[in-house]
Structure 1
Amino acid sequence: MNIQGVSTGNLTINQRLFVLIILFIGLPFFLLGSFWYQSSTEAIEQFAAGANKRIIEQTNVSLDSYISNLENSTYPFIHNPQIQQFLSAAQLTPYAYFQLAKKVEDDLFAQMIYGRSDIIGISLVAENKRQITDYESAPGLLDMSEIRKRNRSYQAQLDQFNDFQIIGLSRVGNTPALTVARKLYDNSSFLYKGLLIVDLNLKQLGAICSNDSLGGFDVWIMGKDGQMIYHPDPSRVGTPVEPGLLTRIQNRDSSFFRHQDTVSGTEKMVLHERSQITGWTVVADLPLNNLIGGLITQRNYSLAAAAVLMIIALALVGGFSLSLTRPLSMLQKLMARVERGDFVLPTNVNRFRNNEMTAVFHSFYSMTGELKRLIREVQDSQLKERELMIKQKESELRSMQSHINPHFLYNSLEIINSYAIADDHMEISRMTRALAHMFRYNIGHAGSVVPLREEMTHVQYYLDLQSARFRRLRIDMNLNERDLNRVNAVRLTLQPIVENVFIHGYRGKKPSYLGINSRAEANYFAIIIRDKGIGMTAETLWQIRQILQTREKPGEGMQPNDGEETTSGIGLLNVHQRLQLTFGDEYGLQLVESVPLEGTIFEIRLPYRTSEEGHHVPDHVDR
């Protein structure tokens, strides 16, 4: 062997391996090191930017939501009678004006300010120079004449404003404030004649921007005019953004860049994202050393250690590397076969004379055999468990249905119905027909899938009987008739939930209300059942939700305290399990809400019928 004129014929295998390592591993490694160093640095920056960019976008979404909620809170002012009187009344006596102002402050201003710590004050300004102001929440002493003067200047710019206008930063006393305005128009002339002006402190903006997930970034907000609307440093609020930085932010070719800070002299990474709703730009900056300095140092140490360990390891294993290559290659192929699910392996592993590798092969074969056995046991166990559960449910239903002789019941009910009709007792006839329908429906196969219309018809008959029993019961059923034929249900699943309302929801009191409504979603159809009964305690609510979530009966993982609520939970669980066994885990029963002495809300999620059944997913979704 000859490498660039150097004879290697007298070199040992270890020496030859050393030369090969130097020429084909070490040299390329160190030559490419500097290039990889630069590439990895850029990759780290890209990763950091990408990770934090999502948080910046979420911050922007939160700001948009904050402004949108604020805008929504101004809608009650548009058509309010007091506001219309304030805008359009030609003349008001001082007392009438005082009464009107007090009513606006008590009814509208108080409602908007209630529960909000971010509102400093509210002003209502009309073109007839009238003003109603409320700045009781503002800190310190205020010169209200300055505020009214400012409000009049905003009123003069009314035609330049949008319906809802973010005016920008102003000062209320010594407090920086974000000012927004809502244009108000006269309902009779449809002309804009007033402004609702709201002054907000910057605490909520600060809370949105102070996201710990950003890992040390300073987050601030820039307005359309390049002014800092919010900054963690209060002294910089309201100041213009540095021109060089402003130019790069406004250049939307890149969402992040490096920037040399002229004040601190440090190089920073800057991320920015502009909102299409507010026009604001959320900016985050962090000194570059804080972001990647530690990672670069750690990476350099790791690379150096890896290089040294690689050379040492290759030098040590060079003498017997060939003896390991072939058995390891074969073992790798066998592992790939096992990974693909092929557990039938060759048996000629004893041809390797390396005792250690032979032991490894025997261990691998033992592990593969055990893995194959365990997989088969798990599959058999799951299959048997599912079959047993289905058979158990079917057995329970058959046992329940077998207690009734349907022909005897039908004949008896028909006789009762005939006597009732003959004696003109139509209420008894109606109840008898309802009871006959329920018996006829109950003896059907309890696991069969039926259109939702059949289940709702069964529930309606049941409610007819309950209405005859409880005369003051009010039933509010609001369902879209078109939906009843395009949704699947399992026979005898809705009536037990409704019956649960009478047994447990109104335990100890007479039923007064039952509501059954629906909601169409993209992937499921929801039936909402609501009562105004005794409700549940927080502990009972948690226990029943756990039963539905874990699908475990009490005693299999939890111990509810209330025996009757436990019975209710088991009945609900049976319905929940039947729905999920038939349609899948994404459907079933949910306990939405329950408040003691106020009532309970259940939601049943059902699938839409497939095209083979004559229907498909909805062409609209109720929102």
Structure 2
Amino acid sequence: MRVNPFKTFRIDVVFFFGFAVIVVGFVGLIVLFSYVNGSREIASNTSYYQQKLLVELHKKLNTYLQDIEQSSNTAALNFSDDRDDLLTGSPYERLRSQTEIRQQLNNYVFSMSALQSIHVYSDLKPSYNIQDYVQFLSLEQLEQEEWYDELRQSDDVWLGERSIRTNDGEQPVIGFARRVYNQFNRASAVIVFNVSAPVFQSLITTEDQRSSLALFDETGRLITHSGSDDFFIRSEQEIKNQLMSQEAGAKRAGDEFVVWSSSPDSKWSLVEITSWKQITAANLKQTQVILTMGLITIVLLLLLTVFLSRQFIKPVSLLLRAMSAFSLTHKTALPQDYRNEFGELFQGYEDLTLRIEQLYGRLDEQHKKRRASEMKTLQMMINPHFLYNSLDQVNWMAIEADQPRISRMLSHLAQFFRLALSNSDSLVTLSEELAHIESYLAFQQIRWEERLRYRFEIEEAATGLYVPKILLQPFIENAFIHGFHGRQEALLVIRAEIRENRLKITIKDDGSGLAAGWQQQRSAKGGYGLRNVRERIEALFGEAFGFTLNASPEGGTEALLTLPLLPTNTFDQTDKGGSEDVENSNRR
């Protein structure tokens, strides 16, 4: 089940933690936005300036590559002409021509400082000396070179970085291999210009020591690099795919920031990587400063929140203590200097306590009056007791005078009064009300004898329901006074049943029926009695309940009472009194 904190926890706790969550969340969003946006801006600026730098490096590199390629082309043409002459001469002329070829190629090495050496693979006499800058190698050895497969599909190709033996030991070089064609347009030799790798690397080296650069050819093959090569070797295939799909761009790859650019002239690509941590170091420091300031702000705001929450909860606590300690004999004083909503609460509470004191005073006064009324009621109970004793004395006199009918009438009359006056409740059960009516009918039976007939048709479930006291007697009395007046015989039917969730009581007689204008009659013989019944029903149950009088189709009058179903007495809360006892005068 979802818990509403505003209905469960203390106000100061909800205020503090609610404000704390908002402040911490807001500061966290600011710090996060500052770091992310700052990193994005730094990456954008770094990418922009590194792209410009790579373009400049491409221009310098293209010039250098073109010099190497053009020199290689010139050397290949000269070698082809000299070789054709060499094959037609004497052995001495061949040796002299090969020496001239070596001299020409040495001139290239001496004129180009970056050129480490030149290797010539041909059918000339092999001459390999590590001290010479120009080496003549056999065609059989050409086929054994690892890079030979790269040359099969092209007339010239740049070779990746490799090492060769020189007079100074193993030296890293980057080679450019070119086929040499004879007069019959057949490949007769291969000339390889070996460029010093450090010189090549110096062309792609920047002043930023944090960066590493790598050079890739148009196929995405790594030619050379400056700085650490771990990332380039590890991500060579991924870099190749990126270069094939996009000529220039920038992206973050793990802990590295990668920027690349391809030259439209050479189709070669330069890739520069920089540590992401180093790029964002300044932004991280700035974010840390913002975070520190944010934490200080959070602490200050939380202290302010504690202060404000205490100020807000203080008047509420005062009011709660005043309510808990409320007593009519001890009044807790509340502050009078509040002019806001708390002041209105305090004033409202004081008005409420004043009203309670007034109501308590009235209740106390009513209680005193009620006690006085109860005393009067006890005193008035003496009158019914005197009435019962008087009827009892008259009854004994009738017995002594041998008047049994008068004795029975007095006995039934005493029983009738006992049932009517012995219970102070306003509601009685239907069975008690029927017992009261039966006493009255027994009284009338003595006078009417066999000429009076009556019967009860009562549902068993209705006998325990509560009805207003002395409810049926006015209708029975009216039947005798108005309906049966001047008649020789009389019939009464009293029916009680439960219908439509209501208690329906029908009193039907075969008398003379309703007189014209009966509703305007207000005599003591009947009109006031029925009005009293109607007013009592409406006062107890509302206007939805009451009774109707109608002429019976068989003659006479039919009264229909509609009452609610009351299985318990929900109206009388006072103690029952007067039922103990009056003597029973039926002593025969």
What is the TM-score of this pair, normalised by structure 2? 0.39
Report the TM-score when normalising by structure 1: 0.37
Question: Rg bigger for which structure?
Answer: 2
